[in-house]
Amino acid sequence: MRVLVVNAGSSSLKVRLLDDDELIESYDELPDPPPQTDAVGHRVVHGGTRFLEPVIVDDEVEAALRDLVDLAPLHQPKSLHGIDAARALLPDVPHVACFDTAFHAHLPPAAATYPLPADWRSTYGLRKYGFHGLSHAWAARRAADLVPGSRRVVTCHLGAGASLAAVRDGVSVETTMGFTPLEGLVMATRPGRLDAGLVLWLQDHAGMSSAEIADVLEHSSGLTALAGTGDMRELLRRDDPDAGLAVDIYLHRLCAEIAAMTAALAGLDTLVFTGGVGENAAEIRLRATQHLSFLGVAVDPERNAAVAGVDADITAPGAKVSTLVVASREDLEIARSVRRVLG
């Protein structure tokens, strides 16, 4: 089955044509005229509480996805734009929405439940949703292939957006992003974990509206706020205090959250780095794993330095925990989901 995969991320658009698991063609935009294809798979960031599995897109489904824009304002509109454009371009083939939240849909109640009033939780669907599920699912799947018998895996999706997942036997049991993609790690333009009281204080004392605060938190916080850029490559090249502090803060939060994911698993067999930073920033991998040596993590410095953008085992000889680099292939995970839905 030939599947056209449309992946609209927060900072990029990737369109790939796959036949089974073979890449036929890559595009920077939707190709017009379109290639011959049997189905289109779409990455959609948020499925809410309704969409826990991939689903064939019709007008009703698309309307329901629009209702979720407020939960992922940086991503959901771009996914919907891709769906609109692709359905117009290819109206006679099935379109399947595949959700980043679905991988985390069955988190244990202790991980998913916020300690808020029950009527709030039931009325507004307040819970930890988690994101980057397609990438985490693929990375965990590859970890099982590369390290057979590896049951407790922490997957680190590090890109413009960033999150971790604790995966036991292929199932997500904890993750760093929460009700929205603002939670967790320091990201290119988002702050990650933040005291909710700080936001309330700004509303009361700085005269800022919720819309103004949301815009800052989504678009001009994180690494960008600390050092003027969200590009980790530039930060690692620079030799100035702002860049140094930004990288230190990034690593401080990353290591703390990896340790928390390990606690959720009651141990760690394999640590996986994926995403643009995870795959290509050898210095980030090295410094993070050095800080996590107490968990039994260690990488071979030469092997680590030589790896960029490909699947590789970078574990140091004798280390108790395996450390992998996995090339992010959300397109393959989406194509697998499309084939499963369409039988």
| Residues with active-site annotation | 100
In terms of phi and psi (left: phi > 0; alpha: psi -120 to 50; beta: otherwise), the region of 140 is alpha
The pair of three-digit structure tokens given for residue 256, joined into one six-digit string: 């703390």
| CB distance 103 to 136 below 8 Å | yes
Helix, strand and coil content of the chain, in percent to the nearest 5, comes to: 45, 20, 35
Residues 6 or more apart whose Cβ sits within 8 Å of residue 225: 191
Return the CA Rg of the chain: 20
* Distance in Å from the first CA to the final CA of the chain: 11
Residues 6 or more apart whose Cβ sits within 8 Å of residue 91: none
Peptide bond into 54 cis (omega under 30): no
Q: Which amino acid is at 258?
A: I
Strand order in the sheet with 39-44: 22-27, 13-19, 2-8, 39-44, 95-99, 55-56
Helices and strands per DSSP (H, E), number in the chain: 14, 12
The pair of three-digit structure tokens given for residue 286, joined into one six-digit string: 């090295």
Pairing of strands 95-99, 39-44: parallel
The pair of three-digit structure tokens given for residue 287, joined into one six-digit string: 């410094």
